[in-house]
Structure 1
Amino acid sequence: MNVHHVIFAIFFAVVAISAVLADSSQQNDVVTYEEVKALKDNTSVYLFDVRRPSELVETGFIPGAINIPIDTLEDTLKNLSSEEFSKKFNRPKPDLDTILVFYCTTGIRSAKAQKIALDLGYINAKNYLGSWRDWEAKLKAEKAT
């Protein structure tokens, strides 16, 4: 085997390992209904509802969630001082290593919110992929049993 073949083999091994790691890290960035349900007593994790306030009025919201609409999220996380954030949301502004969980109606806006947070340096931004629809359906199913 010549040097080019070795380099070629190493390159493809690195690409394959990177793909596996990327896949597993994406799984760690998604939370489930059970994980969100367990957040109600966990004050070290922030749950953000990124829907418009009118949507919350229509459907309700997950207990403990902070409503920051997607169109104001970046500005809020980036530019609101700790004091302003605390005054507005009655919680300290999250640190860059705080776990942030985002949800919306179906998981699309929350995925965008997760990306915004990651781009701002929040290293533990997560997406509740099923979002409100999953929450509502599972909560109804639990009450029915």
Structure 2
Amino acid sequence: MLRAPRRRAATVLWLAIATRTMAAGPTVSLPELRSLLASGRARLFDVRSREEAAAGTIPGALNIPVSELENALQMGPAAFQALYSAEKPKLDDENLVFFCQMGRRGLQATQLAQSLGYRGARNYAGAYREWSEKAE
């Protein structure tokens, strides 16, 4: 009789962890990010402030502060190109990787992009902090 409550508690705990993980959205690890970058299969978006990005960023990242991201992703391609000097991502692009300093704004940006239909939006959960600590 003691087993049933334990199983139920374990199931509830597992469901809570699974739900939290799914709510966090798809993520990219440091080794995976390095592999994607080396193969040219990722587009990086630094969603920190312009000042933070100017102090250092992951090479090749496009800086769009999270406060501007919703408007940026809803712009037409020509307006996006004019403002950011880069091609606007397409809804079906894979590996649109968002990052910030610690992970929270990157997660927010990923969830926002997904809500706008960007299926390939992912969060680099290690964020710039991990990148800068482990840069080669």
Q: 2:68 aligns with which of 43, 65, 72?
A: 72
Q: Taking structure 1 as reference, are residues 35 and 63 closer, same or farther at Cα in structure 2, changes over 3 Å only?
A: same
Q: Which residue identity does 2:48 align to in structure 1?
A: R
Q: What is the root-mean-square deviation of aligned Cα atoms in Å?
A: 2.6
Counterpart in 2 of 1:89? 84
Tell me whether 1:108 sits opposite 2:104 in the alignment.
Answer: yes
Tell me whether 1:125 sits opposite 2:121 in the alignment.
Answer: yes
Task: Give, in whole Å, the separation in 1 of the partners of 2:133 and 2:41.
Answer: 26
Per-residue Cα deviation, 1:44-96 (whole angstroms, up to 9, x for no partner) = 531100000111223x0000100000000001001x21112223334321111
Task: Give, in whole Å, the separation in 1 of the partners of 2:72 and 2:40.
Answer: 20
Q: Taking structure 1 as reference, are residues 120 and 50 closer, same or farther at Cα in structure 2, changes over 3 Å only?
A: same
Q: 2:35 aligns with which of 31, 34, 38?
A: 38
Task: Give, in whole Å, the separation in 2 of the partners of 1:120 and 1:114.
Answer: 10
1:94 counterpart SS class: coil
Task: Give, in whole Å, the separation in 2 of the partners of 1:135 and 1:36.
Answer: 10
1:74 counterpart SS class: helix
Q: Taking structure 1 as reference, are residues 39 and 84 closer, same or farther at Cα in structure 2, changes over 3 Å only?
A: farther
Aligned structure 1 segments of 4 or more residues deviating by more than 4 angstroms: 19-28, 41-44
Task: Give, in whole Å, the separation in 2 of the partners of 1:74 and 1:42.
Answer: 28
Q: 1:135 aligns with which of 109, 131, 134?
A: 131
Q: 2:53 aligns with which of 21, 36, 56?
A: 56
Q: Give the unaligned 5+ runs of structure 1.
A: 1-15
Identity of aligned pairs, percent?
Answer: 36
Judge conservation of contact 1:40–1:63 (CA < 8 Å) in 2: no
TM-score (structure 1 length as normaliser) = 0.72
Larger Rg, first or second structure (1 or 2) = 1
- Cα shift at 1:39: 3.6
Bigger share in helix:
1
Q: Give the unaligned 5+ runs of structure 2.
A: 1-11
